[in-house]
């Protein structure tokens, strides 16, 4: 589902830049590792995830829609 969503939002319809392509996947994988595998992550990884999420939300707000 996540890959399909990212494909629709970033690749096919292209309302957002390609720099946002991996944000959802990377954050999802980080969440899986931290929540289910109990893997630790460092501040840099947390900061990168937060920055990517903010950029993604900002892009959605800018266009006023999630999927055109």
pLDDT of residue 40: 80
Question: What would the pLDDT profile of 35-67 be if each residue is shown by its tens digit?
Answer: 777 778 888 998 999 999 999 888 878 876 655
Question: What would the pLDDT profile of 5-28 be if each residue is shown by its tens digit?
Answer: 666 665 555 667 777 778 888 888
Tell me the H-state helices in 1-68. 2-6, 23-35, 43-63
Cα→Cα distances 6→35, 38, 59, 65, Å? 22, 26, 14, 14
Packing angle, helices 23-35 and 43-63, rounded to 10: 140
């Amino acid at each position: 589902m996540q890959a399909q969503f990212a494909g629709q939002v970033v690749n096919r319809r292209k309302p957002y830049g390609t720099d946002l392509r991996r944000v959802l996947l990377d954050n999802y994988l980080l969440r899986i590792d931290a929540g289910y595998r109990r893997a630790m992550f460092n501040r840099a990884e947390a900061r990168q995830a937060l920055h990517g999420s903010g950029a993604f939300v900002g892009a959605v707000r800018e266009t006023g829609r999630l999927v055109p």
